[in-house]
Amino acid sequence: MSTHAVLALAALAAMSPARLGDPPTHRPPVSKRHVDVQVDQRHHTLAVTIGPFHVPQSPEMMGDMMMMRRNQDALEGAFAWPVTARFRGVKLEVIDSAGHALPRRLLHHTYMVNFDRRQLVDAVAECPFSFGEETEDITIPASLGLPMVAGMRLGIVIMWDNLTGQDVDGAYVRYTFDLNRPRRPAPMDILPFFVDVHKDFGGTDGFEVPPGGLVVTKQFTVATSGHLLAASGHLHDHAVMMRLEDAASGHLMARVRARRDSTGHTLAVERPIFALWNRGPHFKAGHPYRLVVVYDNPTPDTLINAMGMMGGLYVPDRLRDWPTVDPQNDDYRKDMEGYGGVDSVLANLGTKVAETVTRP
């Protein structure tokens, strides 16, 4: 595996700047698009293909308008995960009906939602991975894997952005999962770590930064003790850095800096690897931690829709301690309401595995 691939691991849990935003009522209804699921036992891959899509040209929009469009995410389909296995990579392709490549750039972003496992910090459905415009295919070392259980129900969210100058017809999106092969010792289970500094389920996660800058903080707890193996983040222009600290002792646990150009435009967020060979900082269930996001604003104007999210890879001390989904939870319900028609989609998938999925 190349260094690049290793560095890309932090993207696995990364950022869905997308699924947040608009009041739920404005979201488009769920489509009943066909999802094809193929397991290739020989190559240890799982291919999930959804389509066909008619992708009209995007209207010309820029800057803030673009960010607002991000709020129009649509749940395009759902499927039941077919095998109990870990995966350690995802390849993303846009293809036509004959399987030929179409420009990957047609996608603004896409991610999946696992309705049968909750997140570590918030009680909402897990986002096992996401791809933004620039996200490369995701791979982590073979010694790690994201554990999945047959029957888990996953939703697929897609946001197109067709700047090719013409409508594209008959487009399909294919996600190819790289399943972990049997090995000894068994791969370590990793799950996404995700904290949003300005989370309001069913609302927006953008915040405003007045001239001079702003520090935003959020206190949180983790539901299950474990180590943070790697971290990265999602920040907008004029972001300086974000850090995680122990809210009781003030001890610094992790820090992620933004790389900016001379105008303050955020080029990238560094992806430190805390512990691929050692262990990263340890979090205790129920203990208070704090995410701190620092923005600078040298302009005379208030920045709108700033964001601060930290994502990473988390190794739970005991996977069986991971709490099950609580469908009555307020945040879970508000988050689900963001997907119009999701209830009928889930009912169609049949098997309800929520009680067993986290207790393999």
Dist CA 216 CA 303 (whole Å): 14
Query: Least distance from C-beta 109 to Cu ion, angstroms?
Result: 10
3-state helix, strand, coil in the chain (%, to 5): 10, 45, 45
Choose one: 4-12, 125-133, 278-286, 306-314; the region binding Cu ion (CB under 5 A). Answer: 306-314
Query: Least distance from C-beta 123 to Cu ion, angstroms?
Result: 22
Contact 156, 174 (CB under 8 A): no
In the bound state with Cu ion, the residue whose beta carbon lies nearer, of 127 and 307, is: 307
In the bound state with Cu ion, the residue whose beta carbon lies nearer, of 307 and 313, is: 307
Sites for Cu ion among residues 15-74 (CB under 5 A): 17
Choose one: 47-55, 89-97, 180-188, 304-312; the region binding Cu ion (CB under 5 A). Answer: 304-312
Choose one: 11-19, 188-196, 258-266, 331-339; the region binding Cu ion (CB under 5 A). Answer: 11-19
In the bound state with Cu ion, the residue whose beta carbon lies nearer, of 48 and 303, is: 303
In the bound state with Cu ion, the residue whose beta carbon lies nearer, of 214 and 307, is: 307
Dist CA 83 CA 86 (whole Å): 9
Q: Which two tokens stand for residue 55?
A: 């992708």
In the bound state with Cu ion, the residue whose beta carbon lies nearer, of 149 and 159, is: 159
Q: Pick from 307, 346, 349, 353: which binds Cu ion (CB under 5 A)?
A: 307
DSSP annotation of 125 reads: E
Choose one: 55-63, 114-122, 182-190, 303-311; the region binding Cu ion (CB under 5 A). Answer: 303-311
DSSP annotation of 134 reads: T
Q: Which position's Cβ is nearest Cu ion?
A: 17
Query: Least distance from C-beta 234 to Cu ion, angstroms?
Result: 6
Q: Which residue's structure tokens are 């994201």? A: 146
In the bound state with Cu ion, the residue whose beta carbon lies nearer, of 156 and 307, is: 307
Q: Please tell me the total number of residues recorded for the chain in this structure.
A: 360
Choose one: 12-20, 131-139, 212-220, 258-266; the region binding Cu ion (CB under 5 A). Answer: 12-20
Contact 159, 111 (CB under 8 A): no
Choose one: 121-129, 186-194, 283-291, 301-309; the region binding Cu ion (CB under 5 A). Answer: 301-309
Contact 335, 201 (CB under 8 A): yes
Cα-trace Rg, the chain: 20
Torsion sign, CA atoms 84, 90, 92, 93: negative
The closest alpha carbon to 127, from 234, 281, 247, 254, belongs to 234
Instruction: Determine the size of the site formed for Cu ion (CB under 5 A).
Output: 2
Q: What's the angle, vertex CA 273, arms to CA 272 and CA 275, rounded to 5?
A: 145
Contact 108, 159 (CB under 8 A): yes
Q: Does 145 bind Cu ion (CB under 5 A)?
A: no
Query: Least distance from C-beta 116 to Cu ion, angstroms?
Result: 27
Query: Would you call 182 helix, strand, or coil by DSSP?
Result: coil
Q: What's the angle, vertex CA 67, arms to CA 66 and CA 72, rounded to 5?
A: 90
Query: Least distance from C-beta 21 to Cu ion, angstroms?
Result: 10
Where do contacts with Cu ion occur on this chain (CB under 5 A)?
17, 307
